[in-house]
Structure 1
């Protein structure tokens, strides 16, 4: 109990000393404030930017492997060998059926193709810049499609390639103004009539500007193949992609990826010495590449803010030495009355940590003000992780800056100290 009381008294002495020298306190903590502000601002912007970009990749699905001829990123040697990838065959509908029948580690599989810059019409209304997507069975499982009105395609509609469609929110708003009911109405794509059976819930524009389902029109894959070639000889814009969703128990989708590779190599008759003539793409690869770039930016933020914190640390240490000098006689009086060395040590150490923490809180407050500045589609959020990091760095700086002055004060001889003027 005596120990806790002495620690509490140390806090009181430290707080009283800081309040009695308010101007000196403010000047001392400016360096820490600027340093914490610089570091946490950079980390907050980096984390927010990374999160917004990764959220923009959600349209690719989660836990999904894509089978196509073009890889998302370059090889391990850093070279994107487009001249080799261009000669690869496209993913075909027969390969989709083969994988669907033989894959054991999948919980969903589909094949789809798309064509951009399309125009969808209804009577005198039309909307351009629409993406037409041909969807096969399993599409709503891979992409977690949220149909707000109506329904998804039935297996019979998908297999027969019926002239039905599901339209995005923005398309429905333009073609069916004044809250008209779109379900059961007819729209035209390339002068082909399609009956609307569903409307996708509004998603909004992604941070990266990539189009969402708001401007997509979905038709059965077999119906899409009547309009465009999707297999061998097709333009890259209309080539098919196979999406395979893995089980949650398959950590890293390792088993699923190995199974797809083995089956597809067998299907395409590749010899053991031959390289894959297909790409197994995962959205995580893009996210990891982005994270690597942001790590570099984060290090730059630490370097920039580190110099300010270093200056602030020296300022706190200097102020603490001055404070020890000013209170030498008081320290002697305290020790003559029975104060232990650790009591004096804690008194000055807590003062240094308080000083640094106040500077850190000031820096975090400035970061919070930055998050209130409108930045378009970029949502900036000060996370708990960065708040804790800022307070931890502040505490460590205060501890390091105050340990030497506090130790000097604790080791003062009470007789010599009490005679100091």
Structure 2
């Protein structure tokens, strides 16, 4: 009970100090408010931007290895013309890997063509992404069909003229009607719409959006695009690993061995394909935002430091003003820890109050429209802001509180 009484009495002292010197207290808290706002605003912006970029890269797949002709990061000592002369992945290699890859949960093959015009009657969409996919593509990459259905095995195997379209294409071609069951034209060929995907929306980095995709069966795709020539349409084989395969090391090794075997490469011959993984982009994104977060800490720390000096200043003044009261409390039997905790709690309370105002400003900032970037104040950042406030209050108030606790009651009561 004594600790509860101590807590309540310290709370009353803090409130009375706040009311008695309102302007002085507000000016002292501004430093903490600005510091917490600076740090948490930067962290909120960084977290929101990083999450937006990572979600924009979802089209690359999660735990997926892509077998392609060119690597995403070129080797410094590898001649560029050897990349050009590499063979493209093909359907036979896809079937071979599908039958023999034990470390892959699912395998697909696909090819894409960007900036294609699709038409329906007098309406057209000029920047569609046509993607020819295998049946198991939905098990490797996410294809969120909101209306209609996905391709059947027969439609994929027979190369049927059916398609699944994104929301933006649906709105452009069918502004007043439901697209399901209707026709559209790609390169003059008629397709029947069997599915419409969920709306994804635009991204900060302008990455390909599902709203602009138009999926067709893989064999149907190559009726329109032969893919011949060095710079023709390239097929990509993608394999999804198991969750137990940490780092996809087992899958990567198995794919390398199987594809080298399929292409008849001798042990001393160089591998003529690339295994690309989306984690490479994730690591780059994490390193970039790690630097930005560090910069946020440095910038906010100066404001926090100023706020800490402000809290310390107001606590020194508060101890000086209440010296007589401290002497009376000690003469009535108050222990040193009671005085210490009383002033320390007041410092923490004032700092925490400044931190709460800073968090409130960040919360209000999250309602500001920043285009495709949505700001979200996470619980982790709120906890961080409150924790920093408590630490600053403790550090700033410990010396004034210690001075108050060590006062001689006889000298203090005469003040």
Which band: TM-score by shorter chain? Answer: over 0.9
Among candidates 220, 223, 229, match of residue 220 of structure 2: 223
The offset of 1:301, in angstroms, is 1.0
Among candidates 209, 231, 234, match of residue 235 of structure 1: 231
Q: Deviations over 1:147-168 (max 9, x none)?
A: 3343322222222323333333
1:264 maps onto 2:259 in alignment: yes
1:72 maps onto 2:72 in alignment: yes
The offset of 1:93, in angstroms, is 1.5
Asked if the contact 2:6–2:342 (Cα under 8 Å) also holds between the matched residues in 1, the reply is no
Q: 2-side partners of 1:124 and 1:8: how far apart? A: 75
Asked if the contact 2:148–2:180 (Cα under 8 Å) also holds between the matched residues in 1, the reply is no
Q: What TM-score do the two structures reach when normalised by structure 1? A: 0.91
3-state secondary structure, aligned to 1:346? helix
CA gap 1:80/1:169 in 2 versus in 1, 3 angstroms: farther
Q: Deviations over 1:75-110 (max 9, x none)?
A: 6x8x99755543433222222111101111222111
The offset of 1:279, in angstroms, is 2.3
Q: Deviations over 1:112-171 (max 9, x none)?
A: 001112222333333321221111121122222233343322222222323333333333
Q: 1-side partners of 2:81 and 2:316: how far apart? A: 68
Q: 2-side partners of 1:347 and 1:219: how far apart? A: 72
Q: Which consecutive residues of structure 2, in runs of 5 or more, have no partner in the other structure?
A: none
1:190 maps onto 2:157 in alignment: no
Counterpart residue number, 1:5: 5
Q: 2-side partners of 1:74 and 1:411: how far apart? A: 68
Q: 1-side partners of 2:256 and 2:336: how far apart? A: 69
3-state secondary structure, aligned to 2:25? helix
Counterpart residue number, 1:21: 21
1:342 maps onto 2:337 in alignment: yes
Q: Which consecutive residues of structure 1, in runs of 5 or more, have no partner in the other structure?
A: none
Counterpart residue number, 2:163: 165
Q: 1-side partners of 2:105 and 2:227: how far apart? A: 25
Counterpart residue number, 2:139: 141
1:318-397 to 2 correspondences below 5 Å: 318-397=313-392
Q: 2-side partners of 1:314 and 1:173: how far apart? A: 58
Q: Deviations over 1:55-83 (max 9, x none)?
A: 111222222221112333466x8x99755
1:200 maps onto 2:197 in alignment: yes
CA gap 1:333/1:124 in 2 versus in 1, 3 angstroms: closer
Asked if the contact 1:10–1:344 (Cα under 8 Å) also holds between the matched residues in 2, the reply is no
